[in-house]
Structures are given as C-alpha cells and as structure tokens.
Structure 1
C-alpha cells in the first residue's frame, strides 16, 4: 500500500512538472470578438487578461493607443494609463507638453506585472456620469481592457457604478515566455487592430516577424483578426516613433500645365467660368419657378417621394379661439426673434406658394415655396409652437434642420425651413426595389454618425440639454450629398432635475417601436430616450427593415436576431441574413458586428446602461474612418 501511494505521489509530481513546463512555453490565446461581448461568460480565451506564464513576473511592455479627445496629449494619456510622462514623450519623440493629432498612434510604455493569474498594467479610472464597463473598456481604453476583466477585478456591479468612485482597470499586456526570449524576443506590444490590418502588416510595421506574432497569439494564417481587438506583437527591441507614422493618402492629381502661362489668359478663363456659373444659376431659378407654377399644374400625381418628408407633417392639436398666455407672450416678443430669424408677412408666403396652391403641396400641411429664388418648405401648424421655435432659433448645426423664418396669421403659425433635397431616410432604406435609392455601407455609417452628432449637440451643447423625443427614420432628412439632418422638433423638450429626468404628466406620444421602455411604462424622459431610439434607427439602417420587424408579442424587443448575428459560432454566416441584402455583401463583417453591438448597447432596458451620444459619436467616428480606409 505504501509503495502504491509513493508511486502515486511521484506520478503527480512528474505530471505537475510536465504541466508547469508546458505552461512556461505556452503563448496567449487571441481574444477575438469577446472584447465587446460583455455578457459572454466564456473565459477560455484571454478575455480576463493574458495568463501570467512568462519568464518574469514583471517586465517592460508597450501599448498602442489612438489619441482621441480628451486623451490626446502626453499628460492626459500618461495619466489614463498610469505611465511616466517623460517616457511617453521620449519614445514618441515629442515634448512632455505635446498634443497629438486625432487618431495618431501613440506608444505608451507600461510596467506589466502579474496580478493573480493574469498579467496587467496597473491603472485606475474615476467613474463619470453615464459610464459603464462596456464604455470604459471599449471607448475610453479602446479595447486595451475588457468589460469582463473590469467586472472580475472590481466589487462594483456593472449596474451600480457610482459617479466619482475609482475602479481598477486591468490593461492588457504580457511578458515574453521562455521560448520567446530564447529566440531573442525582449518585449511584447499590445496593438489595437484597425480595419484592413493583417498579421503580416502589423508585424512588418513594428519590425517583427509574422510567424512569431501568429505563435504569440495562438492563431494561424487563416484566422480572422477583428477590428477593435488587441494583438500581441513580439519585438526584439522597443518600438519607435518612426513606426507609428502612417502613410498619407495619395495626393490628388495635379495639373502638368506650365505655371508661367500668360496671366491674362488665366483671367479670361476665370471670367468665362464665372459667366457660365451665373448663367446656370439664373436658368435653374427660372426653371424652378416655371416648374412650380406651370408644369405641376398638369401633374395630378403626388409629389416625388424623395422630397416628401413626414418630418414636416403637423401634429393634430385642438383649435383654440384665442392664443394661450404663453403663445401671446411669444408673439409679443417677435421683435427680439426678428434679430436672428426672419418674420415673414403672410402675403410673402402666399406669393411663394401660389396662394398655397395644391400644385405646391408636399404632404400633410407642408408646401414647397420659392422665396427670393430659394426653395423652402413651409409648414402650417395649429397650436402653440413657441418652444419649438425658441429651440430651433438658437440652434446652428449642420445635422439639425434649419428654421429660417416664421409667420403668424389668423391663429396659425407658419414655419419656414430649409428644403432638403433627398427627403426622409425611410424612403431610402425601406424601398430596396429602386436601384437609385441604394445606400452603401459607408453612406449608412455616415448617416448614423450625422444623426448621433446632431443628438449629441442637443444633449450636450444646448442649455438646458434637450431631448428630441421622436427620433425615427422619417424624421431624418438626407440632403443632396446623402448627409443627414434631424427634423421635426414638435416633441422636443428640455430635461430637468439632477439626472436630466422627469415624469411626464400627459399622455405618451411618439413613434411606435422607437419609444424606450421606461417612457412607455413610467413616463420617464431623459436623453437616454433618444439613445434608445437611435439604437432602433441603427438597426433599421443596417437591415433595411422597419422597426416593427424587431418586436414580437406584447411589444417586447426581440434579441433573437442580435444573438444570431453576434453570439453563435456561425455569427458571420448569420450576419449575411441580417444585413440589408441591397448591400450584396459589400460591407466589412467585423465592423458590422461592432455596429450591431453598439446598437444593442443602446437598447438596454435600464437607461443607465446605455452609452451617451458622445460615446456613440466617438465609436462611429472610428468605424467610419476604418470603413473609408
């Protein structure tokens, strides 16, 4: 019995030695898409951090961070990662007071040490309003940490982050294993993968070896590396600032003409061009007037759907014999509005619309008019619109519809807006049969970014912050360049209270499918209402389906489609059935998954778990840049 027990202990000891030896030689498994999949409990990859299996328990390591406000200087980036500013400035060949251009690759030296079973660079972060583990890991730290690692190493639950509290951020780094040091590897660089990157291009950029990079991440040449994930790059010597200089885009084709040609001849051409442009503009103005007054009289069909915008439709409100006190006070203050907003005489609008003739009617209570040679959309509204006018009067943003003037006549308001050529977004994403109305991937991301930027302006740069409260594809208008403008501010209102939230005392109004659960159930209004609606809008943009397609019984939002596209092993194959077929597969799959995850984060039932519009703008800006690369 003794001999058997002795032999068993020896076997265990030998097995332990073999396991330890194997571990010391092991590399680090690539994290893949788990960086943005916060709900995934699978830790078989490196989602919790790189395993502490190196030759040393502490070493010098390097990170690549893309500068983005407010972390765009040596000081701010050093503070974020707990790094030495002098080391950051030295390795990037800049002064300690330097500020980097947006999206510039910055090398961040860190001390990487074992913390329990995982390597990490020790840093911390103070929770700000609307922060959550997803936004901290993926937006603030740019996937150089993960939400799972944050949850694992902090006592705060993801649903109960306290503003002002300090959390540990396990930054992803690692030390070389023995088999790496044996071949001359001295450092490991944590690199944030960008769209279009390959293992070879990344390795070459930093003077590394492709085979060693594949081995370091336990992947093969056939493995897909995903945008916005980290890859370990083995290096024999520290990275340098010269390696972070990205190739500039090719210059536009230049003329080969001799610059010393006769100046008088150049001026002649200028005069010719100016004359042609002026004549063209004059012909366009005359043509527009003739079209509005004559041609449309013989056309009994509805106006072209490209210029029909539901966002201009007036909401039906009870007629009042007299203006209420608020409207009367607003009417009394028209002189102050006239300083920045044109106050039209009713006769001017009658002349512009041929006396509000049916030939100039667009839809609802909206008419097309010609005012001083410019096309305008004129909307008749019954009821009090003082809040909407006051809000639009002080807004000047390219992604928000511009109100150019007002008129009050016989108990009705007339609002004069800029005319947006291509009409509502809904006309472009629901009608896939019209080949002239197909938006490509980059256009869709640009439109989403435009809407997010406009909402961020409303939420962060108006005083007080405002909620649009009716974001949907009919209230997003596209101009001739397919750039988006937010319209229809009839339901917009300022936020109130400490959290920018208050209880509605009136009936719930909005667009079915876009209204957040806390608004439907409890009448609570905050800027997170717009975030939820924006999440639905992003899914419409991606899928080409109306919001109603995402809802099931009892009007509950369906997550099945998102689960299929994001979490299953055949996610990329399932994605093909999820994305709008009109794009015919011409979209980057990794970026599509990231956009869907971003939309999913906007649709969290708890509004505190949704990102802010500022965070969404940052994410979409990076996605658009990667899409255009």
Structure 2
C-alpha cells in the first residue's frame, strides 16, 4: 500500500510540474530504433522554455577522425573559432587524445514540440541508425529523432549518398530555472559510473547544482538512476569555458604484431555440405542484389522524370560582352515567366510526394489570415497567419516558383527562413514561411525609420554574424554551391529574439561553371547599390557577389544610412567613403564621424574600426581580393565574443551565438 501511495504521489507531482520541467532523458539502444518509438523523450526535450531560441552547449568526446576542433565543428555544423574560444583557445587543428571532452556552443531552437540543433550527415556505406546515434553522434541524438527528420519518414531504410538531418538534443531554461539564476543548459551524455553528483561537480565553477540538474531531468533523490549513452541537461549560471577541462594531445599507438589466433576446437564441416551452403548463399545474395538494383533503378528513373517535368521547354544560353562562354542555366527570366496551370498542378503533385513541405488548401490560408483581412496585412502581398497555433507569414507569389521551392526545400538552417508549406489556388501560388516577428532589418538600422527603432551594438554584431553564417552555409554546404544574388537589408528578417533570417531566394543561383567557381550571365538583376562591379560589367556570378553585397549591408548597419545615402558623393567605388577612417594614421578617432549616431557612445571604438576594415575588404573591386564568407564568419564570430565581453560591463546583452 505504501508503495502504491508513493507512486500515486509521484504521478500527481509529475502532472502538476509539467509546465516547469524539461523532459527526462531517454535510454538509447536498438530498442529505440525499431519498432518506432515516438515517446517525447525519444524525440527531444520539450519546447517549454522561456525562449524558443537560446545559446546552449553540448559536450562531445573526441574520437578519430573527430579529434580536432575543426573536425568536430564540421561534424556538428558548429563554429570552429567559437569552439576554440570556449575551449581555452586550443588550436583548431590540434589532434586531441581520444575521449577528451570538448565544449560545443550551439544555437538551440524549437522545431515543432521539441528543442533541437540541426546538423547534416551524408550516409556512407554500412551506416545505420544505431551507429549514427550512439557512435558518430555519441548519444546526442536518437534513432527515431533522426528518422522523423527524413523527407519521407515512412521510408525506414537509409541509403548511401542520402543526406540526413541530425537533430541534436538541447534545451532552453524554463521560467522557474531563470528565476533560479540558470542561464544555460548543457547537453551531457552519461558515461559508465557517471552520477548527477560527479557531473554537477565537474561544472560547479559555472553554477552547476546537483539538485537543480536532477530537477531539470525530472529526477529526484528517490529516482536518481541514469544510464550510459543517455543525455542529461546540466544547469549552468554562467558561460562555460575550458578552465575546468584538460586537453591532452593525441598520441598514436605504437605498432605491434597482431595476436595469434588460438586453434579451433571444432572440426571443419565436410566439403560437400560447405559447397552446398555456399551455393545457396551465392543464390540468396544474387536475389537480394537483383532486388536492390531494380529498386535503385526505379528511384533514379522517377527523379529523372521529375527533373524533366520541372524543366522549361529549352534552357537559354547567355553570353557576355567580355567573355565567350555558355551557361546551361535555370531560367533567369523567372520573375516574368509563369508556369501553365497544368505544369503547376503537376508540380504541386510532385511536391506532395517527395518533399517535406506541407500542401495547404486555400481554405486553410483563409482561416489562418481571417480571410486575408487588413488586420493581418504586413506588407505588399504578405499576411500574418496562425496555423495550428503557430504564427506564420503567408505570401502571394508571382512568376515561376519552382526555383525558390527547390532551393529552400534542400536547406535546413537557422539563419535561412524556413519554407513550411505551399498552396496553389486559381493559378496563384502562396508560400507559408516561418514568422519573423520583428520584420526586416532595414526598419531597425536606418536613421530615418519612422518608428525610431534601433539596434544596440551587440545586436548589430549578432545580426551580422547570423547573416554571414547563413550565406556561408549557401556557399560551402549546399551542393552545388548557391549564390543568393539579392542580399540587402530588406531581405534579412529578424525574429522576436532579433536573430537574423535570410529570405527572398527567387534570384538564387547554383554556381555551375567549368571549375565550379563562377557562372556567366547577360541577364543582370538585383537591388541597386548592392551589385558587385564584376557582375555589373561582365555578368560574373560567384560567391564573391554575395560578399560584396554583405559589405554594403554591414556598412549600412555601422552607419545607419541606407544605400542611396551611402552613394551620395561617390565618384567610382563605394569604398571611397571609408578613406578618412582607413587612410589616416589615427583612423579610430574618426570612427565617431561615421558610426550611427543613434548608438551614442555605446559601442567599442576599436571593434567598430575593425568592422570598417572588414567592409573595405568586402568592397574591393577585385573579387579575388575579397575575403570568403567563411573567413568573414570567423572574424565576426570572434568579434561577437569580444563584444560579449565588452557588453558584460554595459547594459548591452547578446547571446554570443554565430
């Protein structure tokens, strides 16, 4: 009876405390892969924190080939320079001893009901869910969490070459935890002999507390058992760093001869039986191989058919006045062309079959926007809506939408706006995007904005870092690489936490030159003031086009001036206006004449000067002299960390996540 009463009490306490607690850890192993386990703890931590997005941390243990900061950052889609900063500034290329614990800073965000941080993995031969979740990602994800992220979750198997989204487990503090002074949650994978006590002691310097950590995982003194390869959340009251960690270098094992095998006690089977068994094995392998071949061939034929159905009647060939080149391109005139009704319906049918996008009915959108009422109107053809309790932005589209759908459906990145679904009604396409509550960046950085809205220095650096991170993803982590082609302050949206989302991919282009570095076109489109000289003069499209536009955008953020104001008095190149800052010996003293006056004195002059130097590099006429977006991201990541240190002594508060 006493046991029954205790269980009843615990159950009651569980339901009372649901709004304030974070889902407990889920045991890992093959049983979590099949049959399907959709228990909350198997899919992630509940999205019940104060913020839908926050700075979070993971602990990853080195293992070859992931035994350097650089390799781990690549595996987890993290920022290598920021990782180095949090881990005592160790070299990004230094090989560490196996099982060395490394701090990985990530941006944790709500995705539906669960918090997660996404990375991607290209399936290799012999990969399986178990190996990926338990070995490669060391228990920071689960089999079923990976499976639910598949484009077609009902297709259980994974195939070599397939790109998987890997949702890593993380969470943001609840209101109760914030009130206790808890600012961050760290995802820690339990090892043999680990207890809540020794885990909390390890991070005691950063405010980790045994009781609070147990509560964060719905554990108590009566129910304290945790298991290896499960993820627990460690509560932190300050930013972690490598001061409590050790980073021994990797030492290769000395070569030795393999041990001899003991003689077998069992006699070999008769040769006739062995031959018969082998023949049956060969026959079975042949049957399976044949089946696999037919299946793969069918899939290939389907996608070839789909690709053909989406292509235009002919691929235009463009020439440049300065170059004799040909380009097999996606239709550049898509802004003025439209698909026929039949093509659109076929395309819509294909979307519903092979993409993760939801196809909405027009009635869904009418209900979401209160029949597109003026109350929900945002700007142009964009309306705010509410679908199943989630705020969304619904936009009426013009022209051929296939290119933008193709690009956005392949991208899953925090700093790129998410396309959630589509609708086709009476010849008109509607896109459903995630909602960015603070609107376009242009409404926050220009001095003449009617609402007198402005951003602090720290938030400006956060936004710049976000945009650079998103563009770097397009340039370096999509295949083929993509160029946005229309980066400007109106095409960067800010969510409620002032995190940047790049939008408007209608002009985006893959880079498909002979060397994979550039493409040529004679069709010049984009936003005036942001177009690079080589694009205007010769039609060259490569990632440096976005780098130039980013330089203009960063200059807007630093000065508070719009593009038209920046070009006032410019004779040849925009970078001319930077000469008083960069050419004089004491350029830092001139920063005040250029910086946005709305910042007052609330900015670090030396860091601001370094940003003007970065702008100058981005705006160089020779594209080969500009920094890559990856280098820009590394610079801004360090700048953001430095700004965090500066901001800690002021009222400026930023998340330091890039």
> When the two structures are superposed, what TM-score results if normalisation uses the length of structure 1?
0.50
Residue aligning to 2:340: 322
Using the TM superposition, give the Cα deviation of residue 101 of structure 1 relative to its aligned residue in structure 2, in angstroms.
Answer: 5.3
> How far apart in 2 are the matches of 1:253 and 1:96?
26
Q: What is the CA deviation profile of residues 351-387 of structure 1, one whole-angstrom value per residue up to 9, with x for unaligned ones?
A: 2222223332221111111211222111111221011
Answer yes or no: is 1:485 the counterpart of 2:485.
Answer: no
Q: 1:418 aligns with which of 428, 434, 443?
A: 434
Q: 1:532 aligns with which of 548, 561, 580?
A: 548
User: Would you say the 8 A contact 1:467–1:493 is kept in 2?
Assistant: yes
> How far apart in 2 are the matches of 1:342 and 1:592?
44
Using the TM superposition, give the Cα deviation of residue 505 of structure 1 relative to its aligned residue in structure 2, in angstroms.
Answer: 3.4
- Between 562-571 and 384-393, report the one with greater CA deviation: 562-571
Residue aligning to 1:587: 603
* Structure 1 residues 94 and 391: CA distance shift in structure 2, 3 A: closer
* Structure 1 residues 495 and 94: CA distance shift in structure 2, 3 A: closer
Matches within 5 A, 1:15-414: 69=70, 251-252=206-207, 317-318=335-336, 322-323=340-341, 327=344, 329-337=346-354, 339-414=355-430
Aligned pairs, number: 350
* Structure 1 residues 595 and 571: CA distance shift in structure 2, 3 A: same
> How far apart in 2 are the matches of 1:356 and 1:605?
46
Q: What is the CA deviation profile of residues 103-148 of structure 1, one whole-angstrom value per residue up to 9, with x for unaligned ones?
A: 99xxxxxxxxxxxxxxxxxxxxxxxxxxxxxxxxxxxxxxxxxxxx
* Structure 1 residues 445 and 335: CA distance shift in structure 2, 3 A: same
Q: What is the CA deviation profile of residues 379-418 of structure 1, one whole-angstrom value per residue up to 9, with x for unaligned ones?
A: 1112210110121112111101011100111111100001
> How far apart in 2 are the matches of 1:433 and 1:416?
27
Residue aligning to 1:466: 482
> How far apart in 2 are the matches of 1:372 and 1:95?
47
Q: Secondary structure at the match of 1:618?
A: helix
* Structure 1 residues 573 and 320: CA distance shift in structure 2, 3 A: closer
User: Would you say the 8 A contact 2:351–2:357 is kept in 1?
Assistant: no
Rg larger in 1 or in 2? 1
Q: 2:531 aligns with which of 491, 515, 528?
A: 515
Residue aligning to 1:608: 624
Q: What is the CA deviation profile of residues 492-537 of structure 1, one whole-angstrom value per residue up to 9, with x for unaligned ones?
A: 111111143111133x211111110111111111111111100111
Answer yes or no: is 1:570 the counterpart of 2:567.
Answer: no
Q: 2:566 aligns with which of 550, 553, 557?
A: 550
> How far apart in 1 are the matches of 2:392 and 2:545?
30
For the aligned residue pairs, the C-alpha RMSD in angstroms reads 3.9
Using the TM superposition, give the Cα deviation of residue 547 of structure 1 relative to its aligned residue in structure 2, in angstroms.
Answer: 1.8
User: Would you say the 8 A contact 1:382–1:411 is kept in 2?
Assistant: no
User: Would you say the 8 A contact 1:356–1:367 is kept in 2?
Assistant: yes
* Structure 1 residues 346 and 460: CA distance shift in structure 2, 3 A: same
User: Would you say the 8 A contact 2:438–2:496 is kept in 1?
Assistant: yes
Structure 2 unaligned spans of 5+: 1-67, 74-89, 106-202, 223-332, 646-658
Using the TM superposition, give the Cα deviation of residue 557 of structure 1 relative to its aligned residue in structure 2, in angstroms.
Answer: 2.4
User: Would you say the 8 A contact 1:421–1:478 is kept in 2?
Assistant: yes
> How far apart in 2 are the matches of 1:623 and 1:554?
29
Residue aligning to 2:57: none
* Structure 1 residues 404 and 321: CA distance shift in structure 2, 3 A: closer
Using the TM superposition, give the Cα deviation of residue 321 of structure 1 relative to its aligned residue in structure 2, in angstroms.
Answer: 8.4
Answer yes or no: is 1:598 the counterpart of 2:614.
Answer: yes
User: Would you say the 8 A contact 1:424–1:477 is kept in 2?
Assistant: yes
Residue aligning to 1:502: 519
Q: Secondary structure at the match of 2:394?
A: strand
Q: Secondary structure at the match of 1:474?
A: coil
> How far apart in 2 are the matches of 1:385 and 1:94?
46
Q: Secondary structure at the match of 2:497?
A: coil
Q: Secondary structure at the match of 2:383?
A: strand
Using the TM superposition, give the Cα deviation of residue 71 of structure 1 relative to its aligned residue in structure 2, in angstroms.
Answer: 11
Answer yes or no: is 1:437 the counterpart of 2:453.
Answer: yes
- Between 422-431 and 355-364, report the one with greater CA deviation: 355-364
* Structure 1 residues 334 and 611: CA distance shift in structure 2, 3 A: same
* Structure 1 residues 432 and 626: CA distance shift in structure 2, 3 A: farther
Q: Secondary structure at the match of 1:437?
A: coil
Using the TM superposition, give the Cα deviation of residue 434 of structure 1 relative to its aligned residue in structure 2, in angstroms.
Answer: 7.4
> How far apart in 2 are the matches of 1:484 and 1:621?
15
Q: Secondary structure at the match of 2:385?
A: strand
Structure 1 unaligned spans of 5+: 1-66, 73-88, 105-247, 268-314
User: Would you say the 8 A contact 1:316–1:382 is kept in 2?
Assistant: no
> When the two structures are superposed, what TM-score results if normalisation uses the length of structure 2?
0.48
- Between 483-492 and 94-103, report the one with greater CA deviation: 94-103
> How far apart in 2 are the matches of 1:494 and 1:98?
40
User: Would you say the 8 A contact 1:68–1:102 is kept in 2?
Assistant: no
Q: Secondary structure at the match of 1:500?
A: coil
User: Would you say the 8 A contact 1:564–1:571 is kept in 2?
Assistant: yes
User: Would you say the 8 A contact 2:391–2:435 is kept in 1?
Assistant: yes
Using the TM superposition, give the Cα deviation of residue 597 of structure 1 relative to its aligned residue in structure 2, in angstroms.
Answer: 1.1
> How far apart in 1 are the matches of 2:416 and 2:464?
13
* Structure 1 residues 434 and 461: CA distance shift in structure 2, 3 A: same
User: Would you say the 8 A contact 1:69–1:102 is kept in 2?
Assistant: no
> How far apart in 2 are the matches of 1:622 and 1:249?
26
User: Would you say the 8 A contact 2:475–2:543 is kept in 1?
Assistant: yes
User: Would you say the 8 A contact 1:447–1:484 is kept in 2?
Assistant: yes
* Structure 1 residues 96 and 404: CA distance shift in structure 2, 3 A: closer
* Structure 1 residues 553 and 419: CA distance shift in structure 2, 3 A: same
